[in-house]
Amino acid sequence: MSDPDMAVEQPVKRFHIGDLLSVVTERLVSPSHLDGVYAVVDWMTDVPHFTHQLSRAGDVCKPHLLRQHPWLAAITIPESINDEATLRTFLGMVSVRYGEYHEVQRIPEGEYVAQNPFTEMAQMMTGQAPTTHRED
């Protein structure tokens, strides 16, 4: 018999602040580049993605990231980031202020609609809007 007062612990995974900012701001500031975006989005949705699916998946993940870490909304990515050196400097500054790694929970089951990547590409090419959220 389970104890109703015991909360079910949700799985979490730690990600670099640059990975999280890349999803929230749509500016690629992850130290592992696009792999960092894939890592966050694939973890949060529990679905592997192709590159053309990252934007749609990121749109679903972004509000959940901001609920989990509202301070991410206060970080502005400077336009002056234009190479690895300026990126490292920026990430160093935000890591000192906010911490380098942060735990992220998956989005609630059923809030993300996984699509076949080839079907989704065909929809994109014909101008059809892909399904982004579960419709009740």
Instruction: Give the residue, 25 or 122, on which the prediction is more confident.
Output: 25
Q: Per-residue pLDDT tens for 71-96?
A: 999 999 999 999 999 999 999 999 99
Q: Examine the pLDDT at 132 and tell me if it is beyond 90.
A: no
CA nearest to 39, candidates 59, 22, 56: 22
Euclidean distance between CA atoms 15 and 124, whole angstroms: 30
Q: Mean pLDDT, to the nearest integer, of 125-129? A: 65
pLDDT in tens, 42-63: 999 998 887 877 888 899 999 9
